[in-house]
A and B are shown apart, each in its own frame.
Chain A
Amino acid sequence: MRILALITVIITGIILIYGTVDMPDWGDPNSPASKHVSPGYIEEALEKTATPNIVTAVLADYRSYDTLGETAVIFTAGIACILILRRRRRQRK
């Protein structure tokens, strides 16, 4: 069982490292991730949302629907914990 787990983990790790070979260098300002969508946020966020902190602007404005989902996740987790941990009353008697 342990050997099987170890083999799975090593294979997964090798596949992940194999993928990194073609990745852009770390910190490269010309990587696709920094070229495609994000310049739009950096250049326009102040003008469009009047928020100097771009992370805030994206979190609460451009992608605010994700943030709604995020709060729903917390709500779900809270209700889930109550549902799981609440003991039945008749056990207490």
Chain B
Amino acid sequence: MFDFILSKYNYWIYVILMMIGFYAMIGKRNLIKKVIGMNIFQTAIILFFVSTAAKRGGTLPIIEHGHGHGAHAIQATAYINPLPHVLMLTAIVVMVSTLGVALAVLIAIYRRHNTLEEDEILRQQQK
């Protein structure tokens, strides 16, 4: 049981982090808080992906001895998995872009409604 927890606990931490962000996205009434929640959610996903790359006893995926030593000398188990890192480099950029667009939309909302509280905006729209 203890081994089971020890081998899985890091996934659970990311799930908890994701759910904090997810709750802020759908439960909070302030639009900035929703955007912060969105950011937490996406960051948690990135942490989750990066953690899947880990290998016990593996090092950074940069081949140190460089050229000339021949490809057969490279052991796959000696380096951690590079693919999740690559995917997350892309996902980080996507996340920043989404954040930028969301903030721009927030500015547009503020210009029209002069508030960022969801209730207040809904009240204005019903008039």
Which A residues from 47 to 72 make CB contacts under 8 A with B? 47, 50, 52-55, 57-59, 63, 66-67, 69-70
Q: Which residues of A contact B82 (CB under 8 A)?
A: 38, 41-42, 45, 54-55, 57-58
| Cα–Cα, bound, A61→B96 (Å) | 23
With the chains together, A63 CA to B87 CA distance in Å? 9
- The answer, among B27, B62, B81, for a CB contact under 8 Å with A9, is B27
Name the B residues within 8 Å of A45 (CB-CB). Answer: 63, 82
- A26 contacts across to B, CB distance below 8 A: 7-11, 51, 54
Contacts of B1 in A (CB 8 A): none
If A53-B61, A59-B89 touch, whether A81 touches B54 (CB-CB below 8 Å) is no
25 A-B residue pairings within 8 Å (CB atoms): A5-B26, A10-B19, A16-B18, A16-B19, A17-B11, A23-B8, A25-B7, A26-B11, A29-B57, A33-B52, A41-B82, A41-B83, A46-B66, A46-B67, A46-B71, A50-B67, A53-B63, A54-B62, A55-B86, A58-B82, A66-B90, A73-B94, A81-B104, A84-B101, A84-B105
